[in-house]
Amino acid sequence: MADMNSGVIEAFRANAGVVGDDVMGGHFTGKRLVLLHHVGRVSGKEYVTPLVAAADGDAYVITGSLGGAPKDPAWVANIEDGPGEATIEIGDEAIRVSTTVVRPGQPDWERLYGIWAEYWPDAKEYEKNTDRKFPVIRLVPKA
């Protein structure tokens, strides 16, 4: 996973946030990605994770799907246990965002997950791989 992410991050930064046909067989062509900066809750190390981000007004919605793996990706707990804010790279700029993790059953989860699943067609395949419902993280740019 780290090798795959490294290639996506490199392409993202080299092309002002556009990851096209030359990366992962064009899997992300035409989709908005963000690079989420987060600190490991155990290691204290800074990580950067590329994620598909759907727009929700002025905010962005990302999801801890991990391709439908049985457990949430570690970055979700890093955000959930973190300070409630993070930095994302979008396009060619870095911005501070407030972070809200919305779990299944919480208010607004269905709406937010629906936005992301509609934007990212692979969501239906991910859902087939697991019984778990994916946490949604809403990223709101700070003024």
Q: What is the pLDDT of residues 39-75, one digit of tens each?
A: 999 999 999 999 999 999 999 999 999 999 999 999 9
Pairing of the two strands 59-63 and 33-39: unpaired
Instruction: Give the separation between CA 78 and CA 38, rounded to whole angstroms.
Output: 7
pTM above 0.75, yes or no: yes
**Of the candidate ranges 29-33, 45-49, 57-61, 83-87, the one whose mean pLDDT is the lowest:** 29-33
How confident is the model over 131-136, as a mean pLDDT?
A: 96
Are 83 and 142 contacting, i.e. CB atoms less than 8 angstroms apart?
A: no
Class of the CATH-defined domain 32-141: mainly beta
Domain spans in the chain, listed from the N-terminal domain onward:
32-141
Instruction: Give the separation between CA 30 and CA 7, rounded to whole angstroms.
Output: 17
Residue showing tokens 């096209």: 20
